[in-house]
């Protein structure tokens, strides 16, 4: 029989030929998907809802969104104020990014596996994951207890997350540098700092710039949130005032549009930088 020969070594179950065997990876993927699906289906029943009048709530949401997006207007503040506040938000984001980047550079050269001892590297990674686990807004509020609510608390709080994020990104960029390049310098008797500034930094500069700008873009969004949630100033605070204090959705809409335009511009610049630098 030709067919029995053909089926030698082939898995057949219930008269059906199997097209794949289960591997650890496929089993894990399936298990994860099944778990998440079940959790998503059951989850909503585990939450406590205070009574919602759904039809009214949905109606009001659309009504609010209409006011916000279709009839935007400035009432309490002027266009000039909005621009100033956006600049303040950008400045907060910039400070957090630049200070974070500065610290991250030193942390990253102490984390990269090809530059630093494993024990130091692991210690910094552990430290950073604790830092990252705490939400930015909590950091800002914690700093605010000592430094008072305002720019100092906001910048320091945002800086911590920036630092944790950039350290990881920088270290990965450093690790991608060819081992040979570093080895050659080491063999020629160059000191550690020489290696950093003449090999590591020039080789990875474009990645560092790209990651840093990407984080600046993220920090702009974070800075808006901190303005609203931790009264750190900037456009986020104005957003909070006009929605929670004045209930003026027309103005919320206008502010949202202003913030959105800046965000999209930043995103486009980040994409361009990434495209240009990373394809080199």
Partner 1 sequence: MMSTITLDRPTEQVTSKEASIAAQTVLELRNIEKSYDMKTLIIKDIDLQLKQGEFVSIIGPSGAGKSTLLRCINRMIEPSSGDIIFDGTNITQLSKSALRKQRTKIGMVFQHYNLVSRLTVFENVLHGRFGYKSTLQGILGLYTEEEKMLALSILEKLGMKDHVYKRCDQLSGGQKQRVGIARALVQQPKLLLCDEPIASLDPNSSKVIMDHLKEISQSMGITVLVNLHQVDVALKYSDRIIGLNRGSKLFDDLPKRLSQMDIRNIYGAEVDELIFE
Partner 2 sequence: MTTTNFLRMKKWKMTGIIILLLAITYGSSMITDFDVMKGIKSIPGTIAWIATNLIPDAAAMENLPKVLSRLWETIILSVIASTTAAVCAFFFAIFGSKTTQINRILAFSTRLIASVFRNIPVVAWALVLVISFGHNVVTGYFALFISTFGTLVRMFMETIDEASADGVEALNATGATYFQMVFKGVLPDTMPQMLSWLFYMIETNIRSATLIGLLTGTGIGYLFDLHYKRLDYGTLGLITLSIIVVVIAIEFTSNKVRRMIL
Residue span binding partner 1 (CB under 8 A) among the ranges 9-17, 61-69, 120-128, 255-263? 9-17
Give the residue with the Cβ less far from partner 1, 1 or 46.
Answer: 1
Partner whose binding site includes residue 183, from partner 1, partner 2, none (CB under 5 to 8 Å by kind) = none
Q: How far is it, in rounded angstroms, from Cα 29 to Cα 25?
A: 6
Give every CB contact of residue 109 below 8 A, 6+ residues apart in sequence: 115, 116, 174, 196, 200
By the 8 A CB rule, do 207 and 223 touch?
A: no
Total site size for partner 2, rule CB under 8 A: 76
7 binds partner 1 (CB under 8 A): yes
Residue span binding partner 2 (CB under 8 A) among the ranges 8-16, 91-99, 165-173, 176-184? 91-99
20 binds partner 1 (CB under 8 A): yes
- Kindly report the CA angle at 216 between 95 and 84, in degrees rounded to 5? 65
Give the residue with the Cβ less far from partner 1, 21 or 188.
Answer: 21
Interacting residues with partner 2 between 192 and 251 (CB under 8 A):
221, 224-225, 228-229, 233-234, 236, 239-240, 243-244, 247, 249
Alpha helices by DSSP H, listed for the chain, are 2-6, 24-46, 54-70, 79-109, 118-133, 136-147, 151-175, 179-187, 192-195, 201-229, 235-240, 249-278
Number of C-beta neighbours around residue 177 at 10 A: 18
**HSE toward the beta carbon, residue 43, CA cutoff 13 A:** 7
**Which of 5, 12, 22, 133 touches partner 2 by CB under 8 A?**
133
Closest approach of partner 1 to the CB of residue 37, in Å: 17
Give the residue with the Cβ less far from partner 1, 19 or 50.
Answer: 19
Residue 214: which of 166, 159, 276 has the closest Cα? 166
Closest approach of partner 1 to the CB of residue 235, in Å: 45
Interacting residues with partner 2 between 137 and 156 (CB under 8 A):
137-138, 141-143, 145-147, 150-152, 155-156
Interacting residues with partner 2 between 5 and 64 (CB under 8 A):
24-25, 28-29, 32-33, 36-37, 39-40, 43-44, 46-50, 52, 57-58, 60-61, 63-64
86 binds partner 2 (CB under 8 A): no
Give every CB contact of residue 218 below 8 A, 6+ residues apart in sequence: 165
Partner whose binding site includes residue 278, from partner 1, partner 2, none (CB under 5 to 8 Å by kind) = none
By the 8 A CB rule, do 158 and 136 touch?
A: yes
Number of C-beta neighbours around residue 175 at 10 A: 15
Give the residue with the Cβ less far from partner 1, 5 or 145.
Answer: 5
Any idea which residue has 């995103």 for tokens? 267
| Chain residues that interact with partner 1, rule: CB under 8 A | 3, 6-7, 9-11, 15-17, 19-21, 23
């Amino acid at each position: 029989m030709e067919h029995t020969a053909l089926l030698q070594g082939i898995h057949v179950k219930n008269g059906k030929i199997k097209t794949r065997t289960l591997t650890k990876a496929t089993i894990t993927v399936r298990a994860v998907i099944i778990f998440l699906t079940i959790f998503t289906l059951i989850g909503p029943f585990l939450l406590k809802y205070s009574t919602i009048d759904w039809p009214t709530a949905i109606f009001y949401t659309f009504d609010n969104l209409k006011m916000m997006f279709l009839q935007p207007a400035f009432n309490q503040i002027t266009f000039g104020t909005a621009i100033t506040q956006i600049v303040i938000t950008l400045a907060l984001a910039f400070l957090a990014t630049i200070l974070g980047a500065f610290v991250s550079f030193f942390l990253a050269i102490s984390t990269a596996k090809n530059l630093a001892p494993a024990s130091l590297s692991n210690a910094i990674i552990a430290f950073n994951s604790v830092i990252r686990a705490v939400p930015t807004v909590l950091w800002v509020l914690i700093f605010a207890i000592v430094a008072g609510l305002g720019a100092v608390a906001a910048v320091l709080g945002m800086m911590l997350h920036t630092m944790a994020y950039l350290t990881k990104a920088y270290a990965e960029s450093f690790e991608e540098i060819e081992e040979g390049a570093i080895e050659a310098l080491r063999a020629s008797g160059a000191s550690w700092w020489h290696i950093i500034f003449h090999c590591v930094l020039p080789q990875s500069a474009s990645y560092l710039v790209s990651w840093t700008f990407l984080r600046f873009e993220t920090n702009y969004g974070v800075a808006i949130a901190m303005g609203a949630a931790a009264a750190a100033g900037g456009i986020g605070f104005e957003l909070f005032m006009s929605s929670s204090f004045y209930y003026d959705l027309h103005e919320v809409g206008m502010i949202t549009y202003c913030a959105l335009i800046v965000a999209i511009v930043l995103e486009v610049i980040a994409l361009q930088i990434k495209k240009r630098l990373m394809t080199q």
